Structure 1
Amino acid sequence: MSDERDTRHEDGDDTAAVARPSGKRSARRSRATSSSAASVATIDRPTSAAKATGKQSGKAGRGGTGNPFKRLVKFLKEVIAELRKVIWPNRKQMATYTSVVLVFVIFMISYISGLDVAFIKGVNWLFG
């Protein structure tokens, strides 16, 4: 589904059905459809000069080098930052979620146990 909205530009004309890309993949698709396939292929491939020197740009070429303690501290800081974004359930929600999980587990145990007993009785009747 595309995002269709009525917009009014500065000069006053109305345009309908404006679809905006929401991420990298949709931007890549729109770029690929607007340009030729050959130019897209050359954009995605590294140049022959980069292949000859063997150098890679960015963090892709690092391969985990660097001070492991600094990386560990950075990782822990990122973990704490992500945990701060979490919306934690309150006591009532936690009790509800726990009871739902326990009821589901008890149901699955009884269902599988019933199937097990049925198969045992069936095998005993068939080969008994």
Structure 2
Amino acid sequence: MAHDASGGEIVAANGTTGEKKANVFARIVIFIRQVIAELRKVVTPTRKELVKFTAVVLGFVVVMMALVYGLDFAFSWVTSVVFGVPS
């Protein structure tokens, strides 16, 4: 049976390992080990990177808000021109 880097078994695409399936508790333990192994790979950004990423996200949100506002304004203007302004 093959094992990955976290010590868990590698399961085939159809969900079988070619041998008897482990019980529920063993699979839960394997899952938790794999989660911990993946969390150890996570790199925490520095404060400078975090500020830069936050600025990029906020800038993108502002640009998208402006785009949606512009489209809304344009469509409402076109609608009022085509159908007239109600009295």
State the distance in 2 between where 1:87 and 1:93 align: 12
Structure 1 position 87, deviation (Å)? 2.2
What RMSD over aligned residues (CA atoms) do the two structures have, in Å? 2.0
Which residue number corresponds to residue 59 of structure 1? 17
State the TM-score, normalized to the length of structure 1: 0.48
Is 1:125 aligned to 2:78, yes or no?
A: no
- Which of residues 34, 39, 54 in structure 2 aligns to 1:78? 34
The within-5 A match list for 1:2-81 is 59=17, 65-81=21-37
Structure 1 spans left out of the alignment, 5+ residues:
1-57
Percent identity (aligned): 43
Matched with 1:16 is none
Structure of greater Rg: 1
Structure-1 separation of matches of 2:75 and 2:83: 12
CA shift, 1:118, in A, is 0.6
Tell me the CA shift for residue 67 of structure 1.
Answer: 1.9
For residues 1-54 of structure 1, give each alpha carbon's deviation from its aligned partner in whole angstroms, at most 9, with x where no partner exists.
xxxxxxxxxxxxxxxxxxxxxxxxxxxxxxxxxxxxxxxxxxxxxxxxxxxxxx
For 2:51 and 2:63, the matched residues in 1 are separated by 18
Tell me how far apart the structure 1 counterparts of residues 69 and 50 of structure 2 sit (CA, whole Å).
Answer: 28
> 2:27 & 2:33 partners in 1: Cα distance?
10
Alpha-carbon displacement from aligned partner over 1:67-104 (angstroms, at most 9, x marks no partner): 22221121111111112122221111011101110110
Aligned equivalent of 2:68: 112
Q: How much does 1:66 deviate?
A: 3.3
Question: How many pairs does the alignment contain?
Answer: 69
Amino acid at match of 1:95: V
| Structure 2 match to 1:98 | 54
